[in-house]
Amino acid sequence: MTAQTWRALLKEKYQLSLRLFLFLNAFSALFSIVSPLYAAQQVTLPLTGVLVGSTGLLIWHALNSQRRININLVSLLFGLMWAAQIALKFTAIPKPDLSYLLVALLTVLFIGSLSFINNLSAFICHCLPVIVTVIWLDQAQHLMRMAYAVALPMLGIAIQHLIQKRSDTFSQGLMLKLLEEKETLTDLSMMDPLTGLYNRRGFQNRLEHVLALGTGQHFVMLMDIDHFKAYNDHYGHMMGDQALTRVSAAIRDSVRSRDIVTRYGGEEFLVLLTNSDPQSAHQAAERIRQRVYDLRIPHMFNESVATNVTLSIGIAPLENQDIDSALRKADAALYEAKNQGRNHILFSESRHAA
């Protein structure tokens, strides 16, 4: 889950709560008209307003689901209409009847508690006008009974609100933690664990950002440790890994922070020089070659010849954002540099050793 999907989920909960509230109001108003508790004042303006308003808003919201309605304002409006309906109905009953007030109060509380179980403010906005009206009409004769009928759902909703708030806070914190871990894992999946350089996936990701900018000239450098198989065979893979780590650090320290340094294969490395020129590319390649040579990592080709670990480098320009073509040219230059005796730098176009 992302922050965006989290907000979408909250919005969906908000919409469902509003639609349930409008549906219950429309149903209750229709039921009050079709099967009233008393025949007096069977159809009133407030009751008609509840039925027409809730039905109209329900249809409008279904057609405009992306539009947000102020749920507190709507709940207060319907609460006032129910309060007016109860007052008109109660005054029209020949003999005041407490049961009507209780039924009316419980109906409104039922609508509010079902619709706004996670929204205490909307519940209060909807129920408060009716509660005040019922207590006023009853002249506070049954205040304790009324208070009990009101307090029970309010207490339940308040507790549920606190539980839901804690749950939402925990879920949101967990989601943010998971997103952080996901970003960390994504970063790790783009790095070579031995050398700390980008792997091919990381290179592709960075390359897309560089190409998206569409500015400057770029150069691809492919480099390979000379006779590395012989090094591994003679010194062992543990020493081979140490040599790779030291060579990787030398390459990274020889270029700018904006350049992309990648472990492209076993002992093969790739550097993308961004916003550069041929002269700067050659200078960068020479720095890399010299720094690796200066590491003085001993390398014995055979019993009679001893030397140090060296690099051969092939360079090609990245033209028309065609990375495959640039890699082919750089690879061909690298192959030729090795044929010329290794520890060489060769441009793909000039084919002149340096």
Active-site residue set: 267
Neighbouring-strand partners of residue 272: 220, 260
For residue 140, what are the CA distances in angstroms to 102, 129, 133, 153, 221? 13, 15, 11, 20, 89
Identity of the amino acid at 294: D
| Residue that the structure tokens 């109001």 belong to | 25
**Kind plus residue range of the DSSP H or E element containing 312:** strand 311-318
- What's the per-residue H, E or C state across 328-354? HHHHHHHHHHHHCCCCCEEECCCCCEC
Rounded to whole angstroms, the Cα distance separating 337 from 98 reads 102
* Residue 157, C-beta contacts closer than 8 angstroms, at least 6 positions apart: 113, 116, 117, 120, 123
Rounded to whole angstroms, the Cα distance separating 106 from 93 reads 19
